[in-house]
Structure 1
Amino acid sequence: MADFDMITYEDDEENSNYPDDAALNMVPDPIFIRGTGHITIFGLSNKFETEFPQELAAKVAPEEYKSSITKMNSILHKTMSMNLKWLICGCLCCCCTLGCSVWPVLWLTKRTRHMIEKSLDWENSRLYYKLGLHWTLCKEQCESSNMKEYVLKIEFVPRLNILKPD
């Protein structure tokens, strides 16, 4: 009868029926979508690659991916032509204005990046968070040179371990 009221502790490591944290939190490497346009101003290309990556085959529909990339490309198409005109004008007037004529291009490029980031946030909240994905615009080193460029980065959000108790 004394054994009935006695509290015994078992080693959780040996008798656990729950899978390891390492087995559940295996997250694939992020996917980078590089700019493929013919104009690049301050690291921001005027077009992103529209080809569907195979790593997303079981995660998102190709139509949803294409619509998201099309939205980003339409923002870039609208703004980058204006940025190019201001850059040419700024470079022509650079000697007279002591470099201040390039400021509008810097401001327009920053505004373009902000518009893309807001659009990505909206896309993430609308669809991609539910699918376990997170899209961001980030700077990455170019493959062919030491310069940096802006790329779309698709990260896989790790699943919460709901099988293991608190």
Structure 2
Amino acid sequence: MDLNIDVISEAEDVETEDDRIYKPAELITIRGSGNMNIFGLSNRFTSEFPNELISKIAPEEFKSTISRVNSILSKTVPINAKWLICGCFCCFCTLGCSFFPVVCLNKRTRLSLEKLLEWENQQLYHKLGLHWRLKKQQCTTNSLMEYVLIIEIFPKIPLYNPD
């Protein structure tokens, strides 16, 4: 009888029911539709209601969330563009340090968008089985990166199944 106690074997990944419940069943991507893109962040997102969200959320709620996101972007992206132009003029004199305010303002804009989306998730969307987030993703037309809105649709939790 040969017992290999010291041998370490890999355990198989067993998918439990809890793992299946919390994985998103479907992802909806909303791309930026603005005419200006600074460091991957567009100046607006389209408010066209996706067909995948029919019977999951009211179109008015979707449009109000997109309008809140677009209002933040309309306030901050033009300021970022002005600082970017100013940074381009001063780039050689400051050895590239003039781009630092643009990077900080862009990060501040992203954080305010993430904070808004988290508030919207807690107030409404988590109750409906949806989760909104801002994600960096590669463009489909070129090799550049862009920020998109991702809506994750989670399956309904079966409340009547026994434990």
| TM bracket (short chain) | 0.7 to 0.9
After superposition, where does 1:4-153 map in structure 2 within 5 Å? Answer: 28-153=25-150
Deviations 1:25-79 (A, max 9, x none): 8954200000010100000000001100010011000110000000000000000
Q: What does residue 9 of structure 1 align with? A: none
Instruction: Say what the alpha-carbon RMSD is for the aligned residues.
Output: 2.0
Q: Which amino acid aligns with 2:102?
A: V
Q: What does residue 14 of structure 1 align with? A: none
Distance 2:65 2:74 in 1: 14
TM-score, structure 2 as length reference: 0.84
Describe the shift of the 1:70–1:83 C-alpha distance in structure 2 as closer, same or farther (beyond 3 A).
same
Shift of 1:161: 3.4
Shift of 1:162: 2.9
Q: What does residue 154 of structure 1 align with? A: 151
Runs (5+) with no aligned partner, structure 1? 1-19
Runs (5+) with no aligned partner, structure 2? 1-16
Residues 25 and 159 in structure 1, CA contact (< 8 A), matched pair in contact too: no
Percent same amino acid at aligned positions?
A: 56
Q: What does residue 16 of structure 1 align with? A: none
Residues 130 and 153 in structure 2, CA contact (< 8 A), matched pair in contact too: yes
Q: Which amino acid aligns with 1:118?
A: K
Q: How many aligned residue pairs are there?
A: 146
4+ residue runs over 6 A deviation = 23-26
TM-score, structure 1 as length reference: 0.82
Which SS does the other structure have where 1:129 is aligned?
A: helix
Describe the shift of the 1:86–1:159 C-alpha distance in structure 2 as closer, same or farther (beyond 3 A).
same
Q: Which amino acid aligns with 1:55?
A: E
